[in-house]
Amino acid sequence: MNENTKLIEELREAVAGPVFGPDEAGYAAETGAHNLAVEVRPALVVGALDGRDAAAAVRFAAGRGLSVAVQSTGHGAVPGHADGTLLINTGRLRELSVDAEARTARIGAGNRWADVLAATAPHGLLPLAGSAPGVGVVGYLLGGGLSPLGRAFGFAADHVRAFELVTADGGIRRVEAEREPDLFWALRGGGGGLGVVTAVEIDLFPVPHLYAGAVYFPGERAADVLHAYRAWQEALPEAACASVALLNLPPLPHLPEPLRGRFTVAVRFAYPHGPEEGARLLAPMLTAAEPIMEAVGELPLDALGMIHSDPADPMPIWEHGDLLDDLPAEAVDALLASLTPEQAPLVLELRALGGAFSRPARHPNALDTRDAAHTLLAVNPFPIGLAPFEALRPWLRGAGLPTLRGANPIARDPETAARLAAIKSAYDPTALFR
């Protein structure tokens, strides 16, 4: 029996969930990531059935000198993150309950935002989910959580009430503001690597009417649209959320005909305080150019994903992101001059920050980028040139995007980085967690 086979057998004794090694059927399904550009190659993988199972797997790894990686959906998988580790797949931790009166939800780490939206929408309540409902709740929250509704309500991580966490010592801790305050600070925006989160408790927001969606313009009018967007967005009240994306979508049959195989510009908008006011706020943007498709209106709360309409199926993903301090007209010109439709990535988007994104969290956390004005993100199936980032350099932080973990590395401010490092060495002194 080789060493790995022995390890697999011993782990099967220690946990209740399924265990697979690289040569076994089941390994590919258990390790497969949404991001098909990343091959996830742990030494062995366990599908934890509950918190106790996750804790048993952590103790097993610690006792045998193995590192631990954690994966739910693999939206944030990065090359090498699980190589040679014991990978804990949290996908089976599916508990989910909503307390409509308290406006909170308790969510097992295996849920995606789509599961949470389906449970909260019937109560007229929304979580601060991201643009893609297929993204996992926990990975998103650990990164900070930039929601299409964030200008109205803040970062999703600011509205976490508690985590259940298995730490490197194999113990299960409840982490909240008054209990384990260091971990509570670090888990909200620090990016993870401190343990296995098995469940979270979050705030929900009453949204009786969500006016939201996207308006699409032809790429040939990108200059008019981007300049109009810049001026329009700047004048919006803080509860009005907006982003703009240059789209270079392939000619796939499932895409709407006006967007298929064409360079287009999407202006996304969300207003959580009623359709009349929402339509009034959006109206000036509709005159920037003749839209080729309008998909804005009162959205069912569980259709939040329609604002961005991110691709839902697994695909290879390369991302590069940064923060912009300002978007003056010169920056728009520079961005436009850097791009030709032929070289544009699949998606190049600017999301407006400000509003509630810029306010401090009720309980401080590791998100240290509250004063930026916009995010800039390029997404493509394969690495592509960084001309737009070069062109925007005078206005860029050069700091990466804290909420988008799969992208380029994040530069945190030195104080935040030092506190995160100190908490990591206090709770995970042997760097068990990747």
Please report, as ranges, the residues that interact with ligand FAD according to CB under 6 A: 70-77, 81, 90, 109, 130-132, 135-136, 138-140, 142-143, 145-146, 192, 196-197, 310, 317, 403-406
* Distance from chain centroid for Cα 184: 19
Q: Nearest distance from residue 12's CB to ligand FAD, in Å?
A: 22
Q: Considering beta carbons, is residue 197 or 249 the nearer one to ligand FAD?
A: 197
Q: Nearest distance from residue 369's CB to ligand FAD, in Å?
A: 12
Q: Nearest distance from residue 93's CB to ligand FAD, in Å?
A: 7
What is the DSSP-derived secondary structure letter of residue 341? Answer: T
What contacts 24+ positions apart, CB below 8 Å, involve 25-30? Answer: 30/87, 30/89
| CA-angle at 37, arms to 44 and 409, nearest 5° | 90
Residue 30 backbone phi and psi in degrees, to 5 = -75, -25
Q: Nearest distance from residue 196's CB to ligand FAD, in Å?
A: 5
Reading the block at residue 335, the tokens are: 């961005």
Q: Considering beta carbons, is residue 405 or 412 the nearer one to ligand FAD?
A: 405
Rounding to the nearest 10 degrees, give the CA dihedral for residues 117, 119, 122, 127: -40
Q: Considering beta carbons, is residue 139 or 278 the nearer one to ligand FAD?
A: 139
Distances in Å between the Cα of 285 and the Cα atoms of 18, 217, 238, 253 are 53, 11, 17, 29
Give the SS3 label for residue 6.
Answer: helix
Q: Considering beta carbons, is residue 37 or 125 the nearer one to ligand FAD?
A: 37
Q: Nearest distance from residue 419's CB to ligand FAD, in Å?
A: 19
Q: Give 181-235 as a DSSP string.
A: HHHHHHHTTS-S-S-EEEEEEEE-EE-S-EEEEEEEEEGGGHHHHHHHHHHHHHT
| Cα–Cα distance for residue pair 362/164, rounded to 1 Å | 20
Map tokens 């070069």 to a residue. Answer: 390
Name the residue number minimizing CB distance to ligand FAD: 139
Q: Nearest distance from residue 339's CB to ligand FAD, in Å?
A: 21
| Cα–Cα distance for residue pair 236/271, rounded to 1 Å | 10
Map tokens 């592509």 to a residue. Answer: 384
Reading the block at residue 4, the tokens are: 């790995």
Q: Considering beta carbons, is residue 233 or 403 the nearer one to ligand FAD?
A: 403
Q: Considering beta carbons, is residue 67 or 120 the nearer one to ligand FAD?
A: 67
Q: Considering beta carbons, is residue 75 or 262 the nearer one to ligand FAD?
A: 75
Q: Nearest distance from residue 382's CB to ligand FAD, in Å?
A: 15
Name beta bridge partners: 211: 271, 298
Q: Considering beta carbons, is residue 133 or 278 the nearer one to ligand FAD?
A: 133
Q: Nearest distance from residue 144's CB to ligand FAD, in Å?
A: 6
